Amino acid sequence: MLGHIHAHIETLQREIIDIDRYLLAAMQPYAWAHQLLQTIPGVDEIAAALILIEIGDDMARFGCAERLACWAALSPGNNESAGKRKSGRTRHGNSIIRFILCECANAARMTKSTLASKYRSLMARKSHKKAIVAVAHKMIRLIFLMLSRRQPLHRPGHRLRGHEREEERPALDQAAQDDRPLAVARTRCCQPLKHR
C-alpha cells in the first residue's frame, strides 16, 4: 500500500515538473517582463510566470497602479459613515492574482528588503494576514511601475536594502518607499473617461 502511494506521489511530481517546463517555455515571448518580475523579493520564476499570465505585460490597459490593485482585489475597502470607518476589507476582484501575490508577500517578509521592512512595521499594529495583504498591495503597485517603465527593482549586482550605499539605491527602490510617483499617476488616471 505504501509503495503504491509513493509511486503515485512520484507520478504527480513528474507531472508538476512537466507543467512547470511548459509554463516557462510559454514565457519566451515575454522574457523581458518575466526577468523583471524576478527582481522583486519573494517572486521566483514560477510566480513571475503566473503573474504575467493573469495581468499580461501591457499596463496601459489598467491606466494606473490603483486600478490594477483594485482589479487584483488588493485595494482596501472604504466603508465609512458619519466619520466612522466601519471596515477596510478588500473589495471583490481576481482571487487568483491575489492568492499568488499573498504567497509572494509571505516569502518576501523573510528577505532583507523594503517589503520585509514594510511587513515588520505593519505587524506593530496589524495582524499577520492584514500585513501580508498590505505587502501584496505594495507589490502589485511595484509590478505596475516596473512593467510600465521596463526597469528592474534592483540593478544587476545590486545588493538588497540595508547592505547598499545610499547613492547606489535605484530610483525604483525609492518609489517603493514613498507614493509620490503613484500620487501623480493617480491624479492622471482617475479623471473621468472621455466618451467618443
Residue with cell 523579493: 41
Give me the pLDDT at residue 95, please. 81
What does the pLDDT average to over 117-146?
A: 89
Domain boundaries, the chain: 30-78+87-189
Q: Per the confidence metrics, is the pTM higher than 0.85?
A: no
Cα atoms found within 13 Å of the Cα of residue 192, Cβ hemisphere only? 3
Measured in whole angstroms, how far is the alpha carbon of residue 15 from the centre of its chain?
A: 27
| Distance from C-alpha of 48 to C-alpha of 46, rounded to nearest angstrom | 5
> Are 55 and 97 contacting, i.e. CB atoms less than 8 angstroms apart?
yes
Residue 116: is its pLDDT beyond 50? yes
Give me the pLDDT at residue 79, please. 55
The pLDDT-based confidence of 190 (bands split at 50, 70, 90) is very low
Give me the pLDDT at residue 10, please. 92
Q: Which residues contact 141 (CB under 8 A, 6 or more apart)?
A: 65, 66, 68, 69, 182
Distances (CA, A) of 39 to 56, 143, 183: 17, 10, 24
Q: Can you tell me whether residue 125 is helix, strand or coil?
A: coil
Between 94 and 89, the more confident residue is 94
Between 62 and 184, the more confident residue is 62
Give me the pLDDT at residue 104, please. 92
Cα atoms found within 13 Å of the Cα of residue 166, Cβ hemisphere only? 0
Give me the pLDDT at residue 123, please. 86
85 has which bridge partners? 80
Q: What is the mean pLDDT of the chain?
A: 76
Residue with cell 521566483: 44
Alpha-carbon torsion angle 125, 90, 146, 106, nearest 10: 50
- pLDDT tens profile 153-185: 764 444 444 333 333 344 445 444 444 444 444
Q: Which residues contact 13 (CB under 8 A, 6 or more apart)?
A: none
The pLDDT-based confidence of 84 (bands split at 50, 70, 90) is low
| Distance from C-alpha of 105 to C-alpha of 42, rounded to nearest angstrom | 6
Measured in whole angstroms, how far is the alpha carbon of residue 44 from the centre of its chain?
A: 12
